[in-house]
Structure 1
């Protein structure tokens, strides 16, 4: 019996004494991935506003992806490939830093995946692409979900832009 205590029971008791407190202090984070948002509110004459862009450096927002309407299925023609031609890799697609969604006539919401830039430029564009109004803004981010240990979605204070 003494031999069993020394070989099996004592190591098991020691392992439980170490594991239980450690397990109680650990934090299990849910799946990682969230979207941060920036709201831009327009004031003034919004009748000529076609779109609103939010830019971080040289990269600007795009309209958010929408579900494509169901279309008839088509079959692509077979392409012949010259095996002696040199391989040229396809250009890597660039990702927009923000995706835009028009909420109403004077409110736009921009989403950005797990990023929180400090500084952005908001631009109001006409239907011809002319810049009607522009404003540089510092963003103040506040976490609105998740936890301090695991992170989570955040919202920036609204950017107010006056359209002449």
Structure 2
């Protein structure tokens, strides 16, 4: 009898544990991506928009770096945000899995002269992945006026 009792206890303990393992595997199978990048497009406008040499995006976690620098030397602390000039007054920011609701944009002219600074609020929407697993997000383009 004691042997049967031990076997019953072992089954009662192991079945829930093994069931938990199979559930975790199902979640891993359903969510194969482990990371993604979010994006934000900024359109420059205004009388001095043509003078802009660099646009920086900053939030409470840190600030972006120019695209080529970010690709070759990601920061060791803070966010991994990079900004790229697409030409014709449009900048695209690639953000790690962050989607800051509030952020600042800073426009610099030649010689790192600050031309403009403005705070923005963004509404992010999913452009890939799923609600269960997460995935890439984007916002509507932001208009940044440089006067």
Could you say which residue in structure 2 is the equivalent of 1:72? none
Could you say which residue in structure 1 is the equivalent of 2:32? 30
Contact map agreement 1:46 1:105 (CA 8 A) in 2 = no
Q: Which deviations, in whole Å up to 9, do the C-alpha atoms of 1:30-87 show, x marking residues without a partner?
A: 121100011111112322111101111372110123677xxxxxxxxxxxxxxxxxxx
1:152 aligns with 2:105: no
1:140 aligns with 2:123: yes
Cα separation, partners in 2 of 1:63 and 1:151, compared to 1, 3 Å: same
Could you say which residue in structure 1 is the equivalent of 2:84? 101
Normalised TM-score (structure 2)? 0.71
Q: Which has the higher contact order (CA 8 A, sep 6+)?
A: 1
**1:1-164 aligned within 5 A:** 26-27=26-27, 28-44=30-46, 45-57=48-60, 59-65=62-68, 93-164=76-147
Gaps of 5+ in 1: 1-14, 69-91
RMSD between superposed Cα atoms in Å: 2.5
State the aligned residue count: 120
Deviation at 1:96, TM superposition (A): 4.5
In 1, Cα distance between equivalents of 2:100 and 2:66 = 19
Normalised TM-score (structure 1)? 0.64
Cα separation, partners in 2 of 1:62 and 1:96, compared to 1, 3 Å: farther
Runs of 4 or more above 4 Å deviation:
none
Which structure is higher in helix share? 2
